[in-house]
Amino acid sequence: MSATGGAELRDRCHFGREFDRTSIDCPAFQRTQFIAATSYGKPLGTHVACAHLVVGELSKNQFYPRCALGSDVERLRWIAMMGPARLEVQRALGAEFERLYPDSLRKLIAAKAEALAEPPDRRTSRLALAAVVREFVEEFGAFVSTHASRIAELGFSASDLTARVAIVLGEWQNSARLDLPRGEEPPTVRAEGPTPLSDDTAVAGGLTISRSANLHR
Query: What is the tens place of the pLDDT at every residue in 27-55?
Result: 888 888 777 666 665 666 677 888 888 88
Q: What is the model's pLDDT at position 196?
A: 37
Q: Which residues pair with 203 in a beta bridge?
A: 208
Domain residue ranges in the chain: 7-210
Q: Please give the DSSP secondary-structure letter assigned to residue 92.
A: H
The answer to whether the predicted template modeling score (pTM) of the entire model surpasses 0.75 is no
Query: What is the tens place of the pLDDT at every residue in 146-195?
Result: 999 999 988 889 999 999 999 999 999 999 888 777 644 433 333 333 33
Q: What is the distance between the alpha carbons of residues 143 and 32, in angstroms, rounded to a whole number?
A: 17
Q: Which residues pair with 35 in a beta bridge?
A: 46
Q: Which stretches within the chain are classed as H helix?
A: 72-82, 84-100, 104-117, 124-146, 148-153, 158-173
